[in-house]
């Protein structure tokens, strides 16, 4: 069966109190609408149409990569009016699935159930039993328990308001029938809107059965109307991801203090994450990796047996097997570390490759450098890679030893097994196997008197 999914996303979201259209607010760094889109993209034989309106330019610009039919609803005259905008693109024989762009955590299984319940004689409606259904349309059933209609909160009588079964707004319906009912909608109600929900009563009158189903959890059908609801769904989503990772063999010291804002495409086992770890973008993490508290990892590849100590920031970096990072290290984009590299506290590495078993343990800046294997870089070493206009490379060959507090003025090459004396400013290439240093001769003044204070 062919499916057309219509995602309603034209609303303003006044209660967000934001310049940003509601559907562009994010959960796990992904816009609300993108969550809905990604989920229904997994449906087979499905065409996606997005009805947008409020913040039209920004919405189109921000989500231009989404492959969908975009239909602008210039004036937001109600959910029925929104679906009417797509009417002429709906085929009679297909199933139309209606979703909301601000209900981000709806599950594929729930949606599949709905589409399976549709045929020429039945319409599928997703309802939810709520402790407090305030604000929701109520599902009105007849004496035999069959759905008779949906009444909006604002149009409901006091007895109808007691109904706990709410309308999620999500439904699936046969295309030809939907179009017929859409044509008959009026805005004769308290809000003066064209309610999509009015098609239920029309369907019943046409002898169509309303088949209801319910989501596994209420959170699945919650919409975002304000930032409190946004944060609630962020936590729900994060906990779902945390649970999934734990099932896959990851230890999280506290799943409530773990955030994945992206994906881990290759995931090893026996990874241990301390609290407040944030993982962003696309990553790969190998077996037996330890990640210390308060560490932020983004778009990085972390190989087996790596240990990252607390408070590191790792961005677009590759870390080779058995390497040890931190605490307080910063790996910036295009950092590539081979196996068993040690990067210690207050070390910043940018656009540099460091070969196997090299150590940069304290207070250094290594930028635009190619560092060989078994190199030892002493505390306070700085590659002076920038003259204020251009950037230059530093090459440090295998086995070199750089004494503490050294400035390497790029472009410069330190030869194989060279030793640089501490406190040097190196402006010229340093030959292999030799000791190179640039240091003023140390002098001591005998009989020197300390100044005394004048009255
Ligand atoms: C709607 C339902 C209500 C249900 C509730 C669930 C109707 C008449 N009522 O009410 O039964 O319990 O959702 O949350 O359908 N939208 C547009 N264009 C419009 C109006 C809305 O695209 O002209 C979009 C909104 O962006 C939103 C969705 O449709 O994503 C729902 O709109 P909203 O105004 O939140 O509907 P409710 O009044 O809450
Ligand atoms: Ca709503």
pLDDT tens by residue, 324-361: 999 999 999 999 999 999 999 999 999 999 999 999 99
Calculate how far, in angstroms, residue 147's C-alpha sits from the geometric centre of ligand 2: 22
Cα atoms in the Cβ-side hemisphere of radius 13 Å centred on 53: 20
Calculate how far, in angstroms, residue 229's C-alpha sits from the geometric centre of ligand 1: 16
Tens of pLDDT, residue by residue over 197-236, are: 999 999 999 999 999 999 999 999 999 999 999 999 999 9
Same domain, yes or no: 93 and 161: yes
Pair of tokens at residue 335: 């950092």
State the Cα torsion 417-421-424-426 to the nearest 10°. -20
Residue nearest atom 8 of ligand 1, based on CA coordinates: 195
Atom of ligand 1 nearest to the CA of 100: 30
> What letter would DSSP give residue 121?
T
pTM for the complete prediction? 0.94
Pair of tokens at residue 410: 């790029």
Q: Is 454 inside any structural domain?
A: no
Catalytic annotation on 362? yes
> What letter would DSSP give residue 414?
E
Q: For 1-38, b where at least 16 C-beta lie within 10 A, e where not — what string? A: eebbbbbbbbbebeebeeeebbbbbbbbeebbbbbbbe
Residue nearest atom 3 of ligand 1, based on CA coordinates: 137
- Provide the strand spans (E) within 147-270: 147-151, 165-174, 209-213, 250-252, 258-267
Question: Residues 124, 172: contact at Cβ < 8 Å?
Answer: yes
Q: State which H helix or E strand residue 5 sits in.
A: strand 3-9
CATH number for the domain harbouring residue 201: 3.90.550.10
Same domain, yes or no: 412 and 350: yes
Atom of ligand 1 nearest to the CA of 196: 15
Residue of 54, 232, 296, 362 marked active site: 362
Same domain, yes or no: 56 and 100: yes
Q: Is 320 inside any structural domain?
A: yes
Mean pLDDT, rounded, for 261-269: 98
Q: Which of 11, 14, 79 to mutate to test the pocket of ligand 1 (most atoms within 8 A of CB)?
A: 79
Same domain, yes or no: 157 and 284: no
- Residue 175's domain spans which residues? 3-221
- Give the pairing type, strands 165-174 and 95-100: antiparallel
Report long-range pairs for 70-75 (Cβ below 8 Å, ≥24 apart): 72/10, 73/10
Calculate how far, in angstroms, residue 47's C-alpha sits from the geometric centre of ligand 2: 24
Tens of pLDDT, residue by residue over 274-328, are: 999 999 999 999 999 999 999 999 999 999 999 999 999 999 999 999 999 999 9
Q: Is 443 inside any structural domain?
A: no
Instruction: Write down the pLDDT at residue 102.
Output: 97
Pair of tokens at residue 185: 């909608």
List pocket residues of ligand 1, CB cut-off 6 Å: 8-11, 51, 73, 76-79, 81-82, 100-102, 136-137, 150, 152, 166-169, 195-197, 223
* Sign, CA torsion 104/106/107/112: negative
Indicate the residue among 170, 192, 221 that finishes a domain.
221
Number of domain units in the chain: 2
């Amino acid at each position: 069966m062919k499916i057309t999914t219509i995602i309603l996303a034209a609303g303003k979201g006044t209660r967000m109190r934001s310049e940003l259209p509601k559907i562009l607010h994010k959960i796990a760094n992904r816009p609300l609408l993108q969550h809905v889109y990604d989920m229904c993209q997994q449906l087979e034989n499905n065409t996606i149409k997005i009805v947008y309106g409020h913040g039209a330019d920004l919405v189109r610009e921000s989500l231009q990569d989404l492959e969908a039919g975009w239909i602008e609803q210039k004036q937001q005259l109600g959910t029925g009016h929104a679906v009417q905008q797509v009417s002429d693109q709906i085929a009679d024989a297909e199933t139309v699935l209606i979703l909301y762009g601000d209900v981000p955590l709806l599950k594929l299984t729930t949606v599949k159930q709905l589409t399976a319940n549709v045929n020429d004689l039945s319409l599928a409606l997703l309802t939810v039993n709520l402790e407090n259904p305030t604000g929701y349309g109520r599902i009105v059933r007849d004496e035999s328990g069959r759905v008779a209609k949906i009444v909006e909160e604002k149009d409901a009588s006091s007895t109808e308001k007691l109904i706990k079964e709410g309308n999620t707004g999500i439904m699936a319906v046969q295309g030809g029938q939907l179009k017929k009912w859409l044509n008959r909608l009026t805005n004769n109600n308290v809000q003066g809107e064209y309610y999509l929900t009015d098609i239920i009563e029309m369907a019943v009158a046409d002898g169509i059965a309303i088949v209801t189903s319910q989501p596994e959890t209420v959170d699945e059908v919650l919409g975002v109307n304000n930032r409190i609801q946004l944060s609630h769904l962020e936590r729900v989503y994060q906990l779902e991801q945390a649970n999934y990772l734990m099932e896959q063999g990851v230890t999280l010291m506290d799943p409530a203090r773990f955030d994945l804002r992206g994906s881990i495409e290759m995931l090893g086992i026996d990874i241990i994450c301390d609290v407040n770890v944030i993982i962003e973008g696309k990553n790969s993490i190998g077996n037996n990796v330890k990640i210390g508290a308060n560490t932020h990892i983004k778009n990085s590849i972390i190989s087996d047996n790596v240990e990252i100590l607390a408070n590191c920031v790792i961005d677009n970096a590759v870390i080779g097997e058995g390497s040890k990072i931190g605490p307080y290290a910063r790996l910036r984009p295009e950092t590539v570390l081979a196996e068993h590299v040690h990067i210690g506290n207050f070390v910043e590495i940018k656009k540099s490759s460091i070969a196997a078993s090299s150590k940069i343990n304290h207070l250094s800046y290594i930028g635009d450098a190619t560092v060989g294997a078994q190199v030892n870089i002493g505390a306070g070493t700085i590659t002076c890679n920038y003259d204020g206009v251009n950037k230059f490379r530093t090459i440090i060959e295998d086995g070199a030893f750089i004494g503490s507090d050294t400035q390497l003025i790029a472009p410069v090459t330190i030869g194989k097994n060279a030793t640089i004396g501490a406190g040097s400013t190196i402006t010229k290439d340093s030959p292999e196997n030799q000791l190179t240093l640039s240091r003023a001769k140390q002098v001591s003044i005998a009989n020197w008197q300390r100044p005394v204070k004048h009255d």
